[in-house]
């Protein structure tokens, strides 16, 4: 497909501007998204020379993600380094699929949403388990497989809880704008606590790189085996209270 790199950049960052609309604060999440989106735009430009569709790009990213998780389970330095590189590539591909869709004007909302959910629910879920297996191979201690399994399970539960919340609101025909407005008004008391609790989740890739660099993936997997259940319990409690308040408002 013939399209200039400037147009690809505009298509890529139009979504970034939409997501950051009204948010002028510079934070780690915004920096992370900008870096990944820059890489995603470059990948999208290369993919536009091929017949690969946006949905196929998402599937490719998911395959790379699975391969990355599998390499962690080998437990060796070079396999783990390759796994981290592939994880970064998968994240960049995740940003490229939307750019390809917008450039080709071939967005398939239902299919792309399903594939995106498959990717994001698999993201880090399998990696925790893979890292646990890799540390077990190096140490012979089965506690690391258990820790990886616990973390993977609760990460999967967090993704499922998020999807179920959206499904419940969709079934109730409750608009996203109302949910956001209601959330801001009624749950400001949770904001600081959830903000602090989400830091290890938002920084997980950076923490993973640090743990790998200092050769302490064992501490990494044990820490998240404790942290992830606490985060999920807090998140599900928050969702329960939010849905309860919304239902009370609907029934008024």
The predicted model gives 179-203 an average pLDDT of 64
- Better pLDDT: 137 or 23: 137
DSSP-assigned states of every residue in 204-216: HHHHHHHHHHTT-
Query: Helices 204-213 and 217-250, interaxial angle, to 10°?
Result: 170
Query: Given this model, what pLDDT does residue 8 score?
Result: 61
Measured CA to CA, the distance from residue 91 to residue 124 in angstroms comes to 11
- Tens digits of residue pLDDT in 10-51: 655 665 555 555 454 545 567 777 777 788 888 877 887 788
User: Model confidence over 203-249: pLDDT tens digits?
Assistant: 888 899 999 999 999 999 999 999 999 988 888 888 777 777 777 77
- The burial class, CB within 10 Å (0-12 / 13-18 / 19+), for 237 is exposed
Q: What is the pLDDT of residue 113?
A: 72
Residue 61's Cα: distance from chain center in Å?
A: 12
For the 1-123 domain, the top CATH level (class) is mainly alpha
Q: Do residues 73 and 130 lie in contact, with contact meaning Cβ atoms separated by under 8 Å?
A: yes
Domain spans, the chain = 1-123, 141-252
Q: What is the pLDDT of residue 118?
A: 75
Pick from 135, 130, 158: which is nearest to 218 by CA?
A: 135
CB proximity list for 242: less than 8 A, separation 6 or greater: 165, 179, 182, 183, 186, 187
Per cent of the chain over pLDDT 70 is: 73
Whole-number average pLDDT of the chain:
78
Alpha helix ranges (H) inside 50-142: 54-72, 77-104, 109-122, 125-139
pTM (global) more than 0.75: yes
- The answer to whether the beta carbons of residues 159 and 201 sit under 8 Å apart is no
80 vs 25 pLDDT, higher one: 80
Report the range of poorest mean pLDDT among 68-77, 191-200, 223-232.
Answer: 191-200
All residues at 6 or more sequence positions from 179 whose CB lies less than 8 Å from its CB, including other chains? 169, 242, 246
Cα-Cα-Cα-Cα dihedral sign, residues 105, 111, 117, 122? negative
């Amino acid at each position: 497909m013939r399209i200039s790199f400037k147009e690809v950049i505009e298509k890529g960052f139009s979504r970034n501007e939409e997501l950051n609309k009204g948010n002028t604060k510079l934070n780690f999440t915004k920096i992370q998204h900008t870096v990944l989106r820059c890489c995603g735009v470059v990948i999208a430009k290369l993919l536009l020379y091929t017949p690969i569709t946006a949905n196929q790009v998402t599937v490719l990213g998911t395959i790379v993600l699975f391969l990355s998780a599998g390499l962690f389970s080998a437990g060796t330095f070079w396999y783990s380094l390759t796994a981290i590189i592939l994880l970064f590539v998968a994240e960049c591909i995740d940003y490229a699929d939307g750019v390809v869709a917008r450039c080709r004007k071939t967005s398939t909302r239902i299919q792309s949403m399903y594939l995106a959910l498959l990717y994001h629910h698999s993201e880090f879920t399998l990696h925790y388990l893979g890292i646990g297996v890799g540390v077990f191979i190096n140490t012979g201690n089965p506690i690391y497989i258990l820790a990886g399994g616990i973390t993977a399970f609760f990460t999967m539960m967090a993704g499922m809880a998020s999807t179920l919340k959206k499904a419940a609101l969709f079934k109730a025909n409750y608009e996203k704008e109302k949910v956001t407005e209601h959330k801001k008004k009624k749950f400001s008391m949770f904001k600081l606590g959830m903000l602090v609790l989400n830091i290890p989740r938002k920084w997980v890739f950076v923490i993973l790189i640090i743990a790998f660099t200092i050769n302490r993936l064992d501490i990494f997997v044990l820490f998240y085996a404790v942290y992830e259940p606490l985060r999920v319990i807090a998140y599900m409690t928050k969702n329960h209270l939010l849905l309860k308040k919304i239902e009370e408002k609907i029934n008024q």
